[in-house]
Structures are given as structure tokens and as C-alpha cells.
Amino acid sequence: MRYERRNLLSLIEEGFGKKPITLLLGPRQCGKTTLARHYAGRPDTHWFDLEDYLHRSRLEDNPMSTLSSLRGRVVLDEVQILPELFPVLRVLADRPEMPTRFLLLGSASPHIAWHSSETLAGRIFRIEMGGFTGSEVGVHHQQTLWLRGGFPDSFNAASDMDSLKCRRDFISDFLQRDLVALAESRLSLQRLRRLLLMLAAHNGSTVNASALGREIGVDFKTVQRYLDVLEGAYLLRVVPPFSTNVAKRVRKAPKLYLRDTGLLHALMGLETVEQLQTSGRMGFSWESFCLEHLIQEAGLVSEDCFHYSVQGGAEMDLVTTLGGAVIGFEFKHKDVPSITHSMRSAADDLGAKRIFVLYPGPDTFSLDNSERFVALAWRDLARFRSRFA
């Protein structure tokens, strides 16, 4: 089934209106090309797929003359394949008449952010996207979205087994093609798969590269290189610790999350919702699912998202700042969430204005008389800012 991703289309239109270049970033197979095809077929749209030899050769041989004569919108798909285009785009973006708006689609490259910030500073409108969200496919598909993840081919598969095969194929292709090339390393395929399996096993935990390296038999620098690549390819989210002046032993290691729970479950060997809900790792999977959808649906700035954890004490899954106030989030897979001692202690440590407990139930309601603690229904994420921010 095809779903209109109206919020992303609105962001693209906003980019066209504000900057000469709009950059749409996300993992492979998350739907970037399908989204951009909204503009295909229009007489003022010109399309270049850089994985197509003929398209790529035109831009390799004469990029300036090929692009400078075009008017309207120009889509460059998989732009990371030709980073030498960025200086050309800078020149074209600075033309006073601005006859062209460029839409760049990029994936699986930690270098795109560097090229765009260094070469195209002030000329680019950046959008990050992932797989489907609840507001895009309908909140009644929560269980399917959680199990299969948001990649369109996986989510839309005819059965859970077809979806699982799709995700396993994605993992194999990424390991054999993208990860080896992007990390510029010769780590064996077996060790690369072992690294992904370890990340799945430690999903939602505070883990450092040295510890992972010891478990798979490689050094710290090698693991860190691969973690950086996985983060740059939008498959891994690294959540740093919240900086605070409280006089407690705060854990300083970041938390690591696989951003798509469908890929997480494929690595964990979970094939059905029933297996997921009886798994000992269900809570960590729910945490990963909620974290990613919260950032996307509520429009949080990912660089301003942290975790808080005191050794032997209070924890908070996510901490951010909205309107100058500290806000905390806990992710609980319970029918009716409650306020715990750890939550109260963390809220006091952080001086948090409000704590939200994100859970799978249907209703959002206050957990105390002061409304400092609120049970937030997963289905209400898209309305979070309008109700509370």
C-alpha cells in the first residue's frame, strides 16, 4: 500500500521556498526516491539517478554545462556517489536569478553531512527522514510497525515471514556492500555480522567501543569507525549522557540504539508479535521504537536528546529541553504506567518541568495532581507539541 508522507512533502516545499538546495537524507530503502517521485513527470522537473551509468556519466563528464542550462527543479538521487558535484552546486546556487531548485537525495554515507556543511553552508535546507511513522500509516498499525519496522518494503510485505526475509536481505546487502566500502576497512564479513548482533544484544544499553571490541576481537579504533559509519548511514542512534552538575556518579557512556526495530528484530531472530511480546528484550525493543518515533513525530532536535543515569540509582530514558525547560521521557510497555521512585529521583536531579511516560495504551492522562508526571499514549505523539510544548 502507498502512503502519502504529507509532512515530509511539506518540508520539501518549505526547503524549495527558503533555499536553492534541499537535502533529503535517510537510510537506504526508507522511501526517499518514492517520495521524490511526487515531482517526477512534471515538465519543470529533471531527474538524475546517480546509480544509473548514463545519468552518472553525463554529470561526471560535464557537470557544470549539464546542470547550468536546466530550469525548474532538479532531483539528484544518491548524490553521495558523486561528492565532486558539491562545489558545482555551490556555484549554481549562487546565481542571482536562482532559476533552479535542487533536491538532493542521499543515503549510507557519513561524508554527506561534511560536504553539505563545508561546501554548501548557508545554501542548503536539510531534512532527515526514516521509515514510516504511526501518523503516516495509521496508529492502529502500531503492532505491525513495531515488529516489522518502518522501511516500506518490510512494512508492506504480504506476511511477517516475507517481511523478515526483506529485512534479512537488507542486512546482508548492507554488510557486503555499504559497510565495507564506507568504513574503508577489511574486517571480515563474519566479524561485521558479529558486531551487528552485539549491537542488537546491547540495544538501549550504555556501551563503549572498547567493550564491543573486546567481545568481537578487534581494537577500539576499528569499532569506533564502524559505529560512526552506522550512525552516518542512519541505522544507529547514539544518545549521549545528559550534562548536569548534580553531585552524583552519572554514567558518562552513550546509549546505542538500532533506529529501525524491524532490523533489530531480524537480528534478534524475532519473527512474530507473539515472540516479541514474550521476549526478555521486549522492553529494550519498545524503548528503541518509542525513542525513534518520539524524535520524528514530535519534531525533537536529535542533537538535543540525551539520557540520564546514575550508577546504582535514578535513570531517565530521554532528556531534552523545550522552551527553556528540561523535559524527561520514560518508555514503558505497560497497560497502565505509574510513577516510580527512580522517575521521581531523576526528575528532581534534573529539575525537570515535566516527565512523560510513553506507553502503548489509548489515553493520555496525568499521573499526579500537579501534572508533572503524564502518561503519554503512543498514538498521541504527533500531537505532542500542540498539547504540551
Residue-wise pLDDT for 238-247, tens only, equals 999 997 666 6
Cα 363 from Cα 358, distance rounded (Å)? 11
**What is the mean pLDDT of the segment spanning 216-232?**
89
Residue 184: pLDDT band with limits 50, 70, 90: confident
pLDDT mean across residues, the chain: 91
Q: What is the residue extent of each domain of the chain?
A: 6-129, 135-388
Check if the beta carbon of residue 133 is closer than 8 Å to that of residue 259.
no
Mean pLDDT along residues 166-184: 87
pLDDT band (50, 70, 90) for residue 111: low
| Among 7, 288, 256, 257, residue whose Cα is nearest residue 147 | 288
State how far the alpha carbon of 250 is from the alpha carbons of 257, 261, 340, in Å: 20, 28, 19
Superfamily of domain 6-129: P-loop containing nucleotide triphosphate hydrolases (3.40.50.300)
Please, which pLDDT band fits residue 110 given cuts at 50, 70 and 90? low
- Which CB contacts under 8 angstroms, 24+ apart, belong to 348-352? 349/244, 349/246, 349/248, 349/308, 349/310, 349/314, 350/242, 350/244, 350/246, 350/308, 350/316, 350/319, 350/326, 351/326, 352/316, 352/319, 352/325, 352/326, 352/327, 352/328
The continuous run of DSSP H or E covering 172 comes out as: helix 160-173
Q: CA 294, 158, 153: angle at the middle one, nearest 5?
A: 50
Residue 115 banded pLDDT, cuts 50, 70, 90: low
